[in-house]
Amino acid sequence: MNSSGIKRGLATTAITALAVTGIPFLATSANAVPLDSSVPTATSVIVVAPDTAIASTKNDGQNTTIRLEALGGTSVAQVRFEYSIGVGTYNPIATVSRNDNGAFSTEWAAAGLNGATVNIRAVGITAGGVDGTTTTPDVVAINSTSDTVNVNDGASIAVFQKPDYDGAGADVAAQNVAVSGTSSSTTGAPSLAFWDPSAAAYVTGGTATSTTTGTPAPPTGTWSGVLDITGYDYGTNDELLVKATQTTDDAEAFALVKQVITTVTAVADRTNVPAGETATVVVTVRDQNGTPVVGAEVRDSDGNLIGQTNSLGQVTTTQGPGAEYYYANATASDPYEANLGDKQSQTITVTGFNAVPTTLAGTSTDGAAFDFDEYVSGDIFVQVKNQNGGNLDVDDSQDLEYYWVVTPFDGSAQVRYPTAPAVSTQTTDAGGKFVVDLPAAPRISGTYELFAALDADTLGNGAIASSKVLTVKAGEATVTYDETSPESAPAGTDEVVDGQVVLEDKTTGLPGRSVVLTYQQGTTGSDPVKDANFVPATGVVLTSTRTVTTGADGSFKVTVDDPADTPQGTELGGNVDAVVTGIGASGIVNDQGVDFVSATAPAGSTVVITPITAVVSPGEAQSGTATVTQPDGADLGTDRDPVAGQLVTLTVDKGFFTSGAEETPSVVGADAGNLVNLGTSITAVTNAAGEVTFKTAIERDAGFDDDGLVTSIVTATAGTGVSDTEDVDYTSATPLNGGTVEIALSPASEQDGPTDPAMVGDRVFYDVFVTDQFGNLVGGESVAITDNEEDVTVVTSPVVSDFDDNGDFYVTASQAASATITGTWSSDSYEYTTTTGTALPSTDEPRTGTADVEFYESVVTTTTIESTPEGEVPVGTAVTETVTVLDQEGNPIPNVAVEFIRNGPGAGDGDANVERTTNAQGKAFYTFIGTQAGVANITATVTSNDGIETLNDSVVFVADEPVGPVAIVAKLSGNDNGAANDKLKVNAPSIAQGAEVRLFKVIDGRRIQVGKTKGLNQFGNAVFIVRDRNGGRLTKYVAVVVKTAKTLGDTTNPKRVR
């Protein structure tokens, strides 16, 4: 009845090509009998499916359509399928070409006719488009409850012409065709038949068997079987029409291919077996195209008969230690004869060992996660394993001891079953497999860990210590959807609905579960025909039901398609219903809404957010409404019309959108106010009044920390350029739940002195900060301040929390002490009372915060004196002597008496008994001016309760140097020495050191430099030696000293020497 798809037949040229590529055809008769030969004339048509009086739209594992199949004569180019109800007018279903290997077929979406009895007929159409023969109507009752069947589609199907292997007639030769398909029933086993063109009728050829597997069982089934087509008239173009019949039927046509045994493979489930055990070997026989061969005889390497292959081309045997290969006989001759076409497998080698109990392995047939409703006793077991990981039977005297540890999803304490130190005992095993039951109801949803140990046998051997052997998660699963209902998409497009079958922890999905989905079309919107529906798994006809299987994370998806129309209208109010097989009432989840909406707002539209005046606290939902209207289109009045089905995008710059519900599972007694977070952007669809409603909330925001207030901005946008904004105000002043109390040291600028530790008598200032459950600062709360030491005093308590750090209270001590300062705040409380998010106000809950403070008795430990500036000081400069007094902690000591006495720098110059007191930095200052050159000696006497300290310092005052270059007097001297060289010496003050000096002869009033320019040495001297060129006569000399930064220049006196 229901087919997995529509395929095209093979043209004659394609059939010929198959033969060329080595796929032989079945030419046992001279003349082919194709499907079109079944009809009386070249223009005749026969409906061959449905062939039962009932047709059903129940899901057959592929879809919910009804398969219509017809045969036509050689002149029939197309077939039009039609139906009528009673004697009414015939309605067209579909017009198709020859599209199914010589047949005409279509998939009919007839769900709308459930409960009706219809007449189905086919009309042949010639190549010229002229209606020809019309078939006699088949009367068929359509429903949605009768079991359905589907033949798996394919371009070709293979036949194995099985020999009479024993040669004595006990084994019957057959023409075996492997056929498989799906069914609405998990136990479906349809009868199989093929169409005999010569007889123009179906011939029964076998019965399939169910191959459905899976735990839990899937909603639909699979099957396979062997169809014996003995009697089929082979020809050149072989076409085989196969029918499977349960309550209803399905038919598919194929190109028929003869099988040649080509490969034989053997696979052992293990190759190292315990002594006395065997390996299971599966032998598979395939043809030249890799298709399984049905009915092939298989023997082992010794020629022993193993059996004949099943519909999967397989036969199973056992093999003990040793080496074997397996072969398939292509003829009735038993020995392996490659020349006759026999094929053999690779050699399988099995070895043996002596097994001992080594480990325990737990298994859940329901998987690593399951719903309590899926579990039955026997689904969980512990298997004893040997040293190679194989299953091992154990002595009957050995028992399994076990216990469970359950960690609840709701965060409550772990539970052990049975209570420690007791254990449960399982005394019965089957092949070393012990069934272990979950703890009895009422069960806790959570993570279940199984710990097990194996007792020793009667000889004290074979024990296995206790260990964790299995971890599973179990609870009450439900269907959740990724998007908030209703989902929306532009009209005329698709919407992918994503969901998950998940346990209460919201993270553990159940894989491999079947989800039956039903779509209920919307009833409102501007589209006159509500035609949205599910996209089918195969084909193109939309359907109202789909069955999907969850993925590895429990997720599933289905696509809802709204066919495009002109003009395009909206379709509102559709919804998806889900039923998960096998998990009880929690697996039935209805009404995931789907709206197909207008993404473009009508001309002249506006969106207005109703002003939001309420102020709420973090963790509370704030409600709002946005309304989309358009100009009055009825009477062109001034009133605006609401726009229904309009897509509106909502965004918020602070906080988030919420459904208003609490996150679950919640923990009883924990702080409530953890609202579902939908993100900062959502879409919504306007209702008939043009409205969308929304809720916003906020949790942690740094904006609260300066004044306790935050304003967020909600923006509503409908189409391009149509938007509005609205402020949403929040305050932390009335928190749902208190968070923390912090006693923080005030800044150093607020303190009397050091605080870690503090000196006895000093005040240590603190600020008090309280937060809500999210960490936002809260002002205006009364906090009581206490200490635990009688020598410590708090000033004052209580204090009122605020947002600044100017010091809310201080602590002082009368003697050395250590204390803990505690701030206590009786905050409001709003707590969960159930694990499903229900919450109620509770009694005020005290919140506390502490700070440790230490006071010590200060002892003068270090005293120093220093002068500023240091080193030699010019006369007239002010000098400050600084005495610093520190205690044992290196902290400055204030209010210590310091007496300064100074002598010098001049005789009778000084001060006596200058009294000072150290400041908060532990410093005392004495400033004086030295009026003349000399040394000033300063004595400082430090007097405290700890004794007297004397400090000394000295300051050297020096006279000021002249400012700028000073005048000098340079002299030139020299002695008469006759004809020897003249020697002349320049003398100047030492301050002129380094100044350049030049020596000149004076001849006739002119100066002529002699010798090189020299520099005055450190004593202000320079010596010149000049050769005497005039014998005993006098020579006149003069010297010039050049100006420097320190000295002015000068010209010496003239000097005559002979």
pLDDT tens for each residue of 623-661: 999 999 998 865 555 788 999 889 999 999 999 999 999
Query: Exposure of 21 by Cβ count < 10 A (0-12 exposed, 13-18 middle, 19+ buried)?
Result: exposed
Cα separation, 223 vs 314, in Å, equals: 16
CB distance 854 to 862 below 8 Å: no
CB distance 335 to 312 below 8 Å: no
Q: Per-residue pLDDT for 23 more than 50?
A: no
Cα separation, 770 vs 737, in Å, equals: 11
Q: Per-residue pLDDT for 14 more than 70?
A: no
Cα separation, 364 vs 375, in Å, equals: 9
Each domain of the chain, given as residue ranges in start order, spans 12-258, 263-353, 359-475, 478-597, 606-731, 742-853, 860-958, 971-1057
CA angle 690, 719, 483 (to 5 degrees): 75
Q: Per-residue pLDDT for 56 more than 50?
A: yes
CB distance 1002 to 1057 below 8 Å: no
Q: Per-residue pLDDT for 177 more than 50?
A: yes
Tell which wins on pLDDT, 62 or 215: 62
CA-closest candidate to residue 598, choices 569, 575, 626: 569
Both tokens of 645, joined, read: 């089905």
Q: Which CATH class is domain 742-853?
A: mainly beta
Cα separation, 758 vs 889, in Å, equals: 10
Least confident of 17-31, 89-103, 961-975: 17-31
Q: pLDDT for 84-101, tens place per residue?
A: 998 889 999 999 999 878
Q: Which helix (H) or strand (E) holds 277?
A: none
Q: pLDDT for 751-760, tens place per residue?
A: 998 999 999 9
Beta carbons within 8 Å of 907's beta carbon, 6+ residues apart: none
Q: Per-residue pLDDT for 45 more than 80?
A: yes
H and E: helices and strands count for the chain: 2, 82
Domain 359-475 fold is: Immunoglobulin-like (2.60.40)
Q: pLDDT for 752-785, tens place per residue?
A: 989 999 999 999 999 999 999 999 999 999 999 9
Instruction: Name the phi and psi angles at 436, rounded to 5.
Output: -125, 130
Question: Residue 924 in 3-state DSSP?
Answer: strand
Both tokens of 398, joined, read: 């050995």
Model's pTM, two decimal places? 0.58
Beta carbons within 8 Å of 423's beta carbon, 6+ residues apart: 401, 402, 403, 453
Q: Which CATH class is domain 478-597?
A: mainly beta
Least confident of 92-106, 990-1004, 1026-1040: 1026-1040
Residue 355, CB half-sphere, CA atoms under 13 Å: how many? 22
CA-closest candidate to residue 650, choices 627, 680, 623, 676: 680
| pLDDT the model gives residue 235 | 72
Cα separation, 184 vs 167, in Å, equals: 42
Evaluate whether 478-597 and 742-853 have a shared fold.
Answer: yes
Cα Rg for the chain, rounded, in angstroms?
Answer: 53
Q: Per-residue pLDDT for 250 more than 60?
A: yes
CA-closest candidate to residue 512, choices 553, 551, 473: 551
Both tokens of 49, joined, read: 């499916």
Domain 263-353 fold is: Immunoglobulin-like (2.60.40)
Cα separation, 458 vs 435, in Å, equals: 22
Question: Residue 145 in 3-state DSSP?
Answer: coil
Residues forming a β-bridge with 767: 744
User: Taking the domain 971-1057, which CATH number applies?
Assistant: 2.60.40.2470
| pLDDT the model gives residue 764 | 98
Instruction: Name the phi and psi angles at 615, rounded to 5.
Output: -120, 125
| pLDDT the model gives residue 4 | 36
| pLDDT interval class at 106 (50, 70, 90) | very high
| pLDDT interval class at 16 (50, 70, 90) | very low
- Helix, strand, coil: what percent of the chain each, to 5? 5, 50, 45
Least confident of 34-38, 161-165, 389-393, 403-407: 34-38
Tell which wins on pLDDT, 198 or 337: 337
| pLDDT the model gives residue 169 | 57
Mean pLDDT value of segment 489-500: 94
Q: Per-residue pLDDT for 20 more than 50?
A: no
CB distance 81 to 110 below 8 Å: no
Beta carbons within 8 Å of 602's beta carbon, 6+ residues apart: 630, 643
DSSP string, 279-323: EEEEEEEE-TTSPBPSS-EEEETT--EEEE--TTSEEEEEE-SEE
Q: What is the mean pLDDT of the chain?
A: 91
Q: pLDDT for 692-743, tens place per residue?
A: 999 999 999 999 999 999 999 999 999 888 999 999 999 999 999 999 999 9
Q: Assign domain 12-258 to its CATH architecture.
A: Sandwich (2.60)
Percentage, residues of the chain above pLDDT 90: 74
| pLDDT interval class at 32 (50, 70, 90) | very low
| pLDDT the model gives residue 908 | 77
CATH 3.40.190.170 fits 606-731, yes or no: no
Cα separation, 1040 vs 396, in Å, equals: 132
CA-closest candidate to residue 220, choices 182, 264, 253: 182
DSSP string, 316-362: EEEE-SEEE-EEEESSS--S--GGGT-EE---EEEEEE-----EEEE
Cα separation, 383 vs 362, in Å, equals: 6
Q: Per-residue pLDDT for 1027 more than 90?
A: no
Mean pLDDT value of segment 289-297: 95
| pLDDT the model gives residue 320 | 96
User: Taking the domain 860-958, which CATH number applies?
Assistant: 2.60.40.10
Cα separation, 78 vs 5, in Å, equals: 19
